[in-house]
Amino acid sequence: MGKYSEEADSEIGKATLAKIQLEDAIDLFLARKLISAITLAGAADGIFAGLLEQQGEDSTAKEIWKSVIDIREKTDFKYGGVRTEKETFNEWNKSRNRLKHHDGKEGGALLLNVFDEAFISIQRANKDGDKLGVVATNRQKYENWIIENICM
């Protein structure tokens, strides 16, 4: 029994939890509530990435990083700059983290493109979900919206 309700505790699998977060992120994205979409999609992707790592597989972000390293090694070109893996992941997740935490060095406002960040966060979560065989029930609605509003 809950402390404030009659409901009993319930067990939720991590993949199911991430799927629910991703579906909610997509709903928020389609409703143009982009800041919350970024946060939820980022949370879903964090869980999916952790589950993939636990299974010995790479997340989408990790695959991209490996491609950057491969290009650097094959061409001797500093593709993506000279940032380390940690610095790169911090940069890729910067907006998501800035929305969740206050950093006194930034002052009272953030500068970011909320549409792009929401789109990228959902894309990453969808890709990592795919690798786990987890697909958001509203994925097709999201993809239709993307085709109609971005690709056309």
pLDDT in tens, 125-136: 999 999 999 999
Please report where in the chains the tokens 């579906």 appear, as a residue.
23
Residue 2 lies in a domain: no
The pLDDT, as a whole number, for residue 79 is 67
DSSP state of 81: T
Residue 40 lies in a domain: yes
Q: Which two tokens stand for residue 20?
A: 């629910």
pLDDT averaged over every residue in the chain: 89
Total domain count, the chain: 1
Distance CA 114, CA 6 (A): 39
pLDDT in tens, 34-88: 999 999 999 999 999 999 999 999 999 898 888 888 888 888 777 667 788 788 7
Distance CA 51, CA 60 (A): 12
133 Rama sector, left if φ>0, alpha if ψ -120 to 50, beta otherwise: left
Q: Domain of 95? A: 14-151
The pLDDT, as a whole number, for residue 7 is 87
Residue 3 lies in a domain: no
